[in-house]
Amino acid sequence: MSTTTPSIFAPVSTPAFAIRELAFVVLGITAVIFLVVGGLAVYALIRFRRPRTDDGREPPQVYGSRQIEQAWTVVPILIVVVLFLVTARYIYAIEGRPQPADAHEVTVVGHQWWWEIRYPKLGIVTANELHVPVSDKPTFITLQSVDVIHSFWIPQLAGKMDVIPNKTNRVWIDPKRVGKYVGQCAEYCGLQHAGMLLTVTVHSTEEFARWVAAQQMPARDDVKAREGRELFSSLACVNCHTVRGTTANGVFGPDLTHVMSRSTIGAGVIPNTPETLRAWVDDPSALKPGALMPAMKLSRNDLDKVTAYLLTLR
């Protein structure tokens, strides 16, 4: 898939198009101000340079000019009011959009430092990699946090929205183009704020249906990984992680039912490969300092077994 830049100037979804439009309006107005002020400053610098014949006397002073004071008070206020009204109009247009009955629904929960992604209507739980169909039907995203304030931001799809404990926020996206779009947490939330990345994969309708069907499957029960599965079930892993169809039903960490369908570990900090997965289970802090998952202190043999089991969870 093509590498896309997290640029607000390359929108692919209605709220992001609106934000770019607004950015151009604001840039246009401020560019005019810049040129007028800068032009006057340059003109004054050149026109009123100290002449060689200067007699050193103070020039006539302008003081207490009501017209000038009124002008430099009223004009900036008018400019700010215009910027405010234009911005307010865009905000209301985006945030005020009612949710259509047939909209796709996703709940994204911010954690230190990863994103839990739930599809309540579809019975899917995943992490850090949001999948949506390309569509005129928007996807409405409910935002919640279990710990501190995070901010959900995919620049090409929509504006930033804070993710606040005990408050539910909402954003919506309607990506017009299939592809992969990158985003990140945009509110400082602790040590691994910078390691709280997310991607949005926009699929064609058929591809999305296939993804949904695969995610809805229960976890694979590969006979070759039975030993690892039993070991996993006997360890503290199950207190934090869910593997659907097993005794593991923790909700503190990411759902691992289809962990191998995800391309990264640790919310985007490293690619998900057999080697990095093994290293992660061994000691997450070595790869993501501050990660809340503890090092499991497994023997090398047990580590291999647990990793082998996790690798079957496609």
Closest CA to 278 of 261, 292, 259: 259
Q: Alpha-carbon distance 213 to 122, whole Å?
A: 9
Displacement of CA 126 from its chain's centroid (Å): 15
Q: Does 291 help bind ligand CUA (rule: CB under 6 A)?
A: no
β-pairing, 114-119 with 104-111? antiparallel
**Closest by CA position to 153, among listed 137, 141, 167:** 141
Compute the least distance from the CB of residue 224 to ligand CUA, in Å: 38
Q: Which residues within the stretch 186-205 sit at the binding site for ligand CUA (CB under 6 A)?
A: 187-189, 193, 196
Instruction: Give the nearer residue to ligand CUA in terms of CB position, either 200 or 231.
Output: 200
Integer angstrom CA distances of residue 241 from 7, 70, 106, 115, 215: 34, 65, 20, 14, 16
Q: Which is nearer to ligand CUA, 76 or 165 (CB)?
A: 165
Helices (H), the chain: 14-47, 66-95, 205-216, 226-234, 237-240, 274-282, 284-287, 300-311
110 contributes a contact to ligand CUA by CB under 6 A: yes
Q: Which is nearer to ligand CUA, 133 or 195 (CB)?
A: 195
Q: Min. distance of Cβ 187 from ligand CUA in angstroms?
A: 5
Stretch that binds ligand CUA, among 44-52, 183-191, 232-240, 252-260 (CB under 6 A): 183-191
**Quick check: 116 binds ligand CUA (CB under 6 A)?**
no
Min CB(284)–ligand CUA separation in Å: 17
Exposed, middle or buried: residue 164 (CB in 10 Å: 0-12, 13-18, 19+)?
middle
Q: Nearest approach, Cβ of 292 to ligand CUA (angstroms)? A: 13
* Shortest Å distance, C-beta 266 to ligand CUA: 13
d(CA 151, CA 162): 4
Residue 267 touches ligand CUA, criterion: CB under 6 A: no
- Helix and strand numbers, DSSP H then E, in the chain: 8, 12
Q: Contact residues for ligand CUA (CB under 6 A)?
A: 110, 113, 150, 185, 187-189, 193, 196
